[in-house]
Structure 1
Amino acid sequence: MNYEGLKGKNDYSVTVFFDGKKRLFTEYVHNIYSYTQWLKKQSIEWNYILVYIRRTRGVLCYYKNGDFLHKFPDYEIKGRVKQGW
């Protein structure tokens, strides 16, 4: 995966899914952990989130609800990755 689209601020876009359906798309996300805390505060239920590199639209990884989340995806262990992404 090429990470050239990362510049340090609002590097990610996130799609939120619940029961197999897209619930929410947020284009500008700086901190993955804080974003999931915001979802919780807003009472937005989710099963998993799909994280993109915002500037290139490349899929980075996904996290299931309950996974341990860092502020930013760790590029050694960056979340779950499906084949073909």
Structure 2
Amino acid sequence: MNIYEGLKDKNDYSVSVYLGKERRLFTEYVHSIYSYSQWMSKQNITWDYILIYVRRTRKILCYYKNGDFLHSRPDFQIRGRIKTGW
């Protein structure tokens, strides 16, 4: 697999935001995961974890729990938490 498959330069990610098992928010076009988390803080959106997708291929890239170190632009080598089989 090409590590940059589906990743270009801008708005590479889609993000689902969860509180418990309930999906609270979905955003299709996200450029920076860190900036997105800062925006959620300013909007007072509480969350437990976020699921990151490669927008163009719709593959799951990783997820972050609230409190994790958030990479600004994760790719297939630098990413948050993953599950076996992703």
When normalised by structure 2's length, the TM-score is 0.91
Q: Aligned to 1:27, what secondary structure does the other structure show?
A: strand
Contact 2:61–2:76 (CA<8 Å) still a contact in 1?
A: no
Count of matched residue pairs: 85
Aligned mates of 2:27, 2:65 — CA distance in 1: 17
Q: Assess, with a 3 A threshold, how the Cα gap between structure 1 residues 57 and 74 changes in structure 2: closer, same or farther.
A: closer
Q: Report % sequence identity.
A: 69
- Residue type at the aligned position of 1:26: T
Q: Which runs of 5 or more structure 1 residues have no equivalent in the other structure?
A: none
Q: Which runs of 5 or more structure 2 residues have no equivalent in the other structure?
A: none
- List structure 1 segments (4+ residues) > 6 angstroms apart after TM superposition: none
Moved more, 6-15 or 72-81: 72-81
Moved more, 38-47 or 71-80: 71-80
Measure how far apart 1:77 and its partner are.
3.7
- Residue type at the aligned position of 2:66: N
